[in-house]
Amino acid sequence: MKLYHCPDARSLRPLWALEEMGLDYELTNMEFPPRIMQEGYLEINPLGTVPTFVDGSLTMTESTGICQYLVDIYGPHSIGMSVDEPGYGDYLNWLHRSDATLTFPQTLVLRYSILEPEDRRLPQVVEDYGKWYLSRLRCVETAIEGKEFLCADRFTIADIAVGYALFLGTSLGLDERYKPNCKRYLAALMERDGFLSAQKKQG
């Protein structure tokens, strides 16, 4: 299996999962944006996005979906959940919420504060979507009150998915406004061996 990755992009989710699971894989580190910086990348992933994950004849491009594929196909593993476990619905909800609710608004902050040329930057969009993201963190703040992890009283890919969203906020300065539970939760996740190993692998 092979993962195409840009440092600290959403591809960090499956990279982190691969390290937690101890699976053998090939990693291709690329400059962002790969559709411009990596010759031939559009032939592999016509969307030009990261990640791209290849396993035999299968190609996947959604970071959380790749994490779920890894635990379902290469498990069972403690970082996955089975359908008959209590809390499985919450687990799925967090997996999907991590991108649709928590990462999406940050992509607009990133684009219009950093990636776009100065004459195309939109401070109002940055402010509005930063506030939107932070308001949606209330669900995380509440869920981890008195808890170490989101589901099943153990670390799962739900924590990878949501933890990455929180981690992305550190690069945008949004973490300065995180509430105490989110700060504690993110700090603990970033101390995990799997996260630290993934960070080293990306150079």
Q: What is the pLDDT of residues 94-150, one digit of tens each?
A: 999 999 999 999 999 999 999 999 999 999 999 999 999 999 999 999 999 999 999
Residue whose token pair is 């030009």? 48
Residue 50, SS3 per DSSP? coil
In DSSP terms, 26 is beta-bridged to 2
Residue 174 located in a structural domain: yes
Q: How confident is the model at residue 34 (pLDDT cuts 50, 70, 90)?
A: confident
143 assigned to some structural domain = yes
| Residue 73, domain CATH | 3.40.30.10
pLDDT in tens, 65-78: 999 999 999 999 99
Whole-prediction pTM value?
A: 0.96
Q: What is the largest CA-CA distance in the chain?
A: 53
Tell me what pLDDT residue 85 has: 96
β-pairing, 26-29 vs 2-5, is: parallel
* pLDDT attached to residue 16: 98
What are the two backbone dihedrals, phi and then psi, of residue 154, each rounded to the nearest 5 degrees? -155, 165
Residue 178 is inside which H or E element, if any?
A: none
Residue 83 lies in a domain: no
Residues 56 and 130 in one domain: no
Give the three-class secondary structure for 169: helix
Which structural domain range is residue 47 located in? 2-78+195-201
Partners of 34 in beta bridges? none
Average pLDDT over residues 28-38: 89
The tokens for 67 are 């994490």
Inform me whether the pLDDT recorded for 203 exceeds 80: no
Whether residue 69 sits in one domain with residue 108:
no
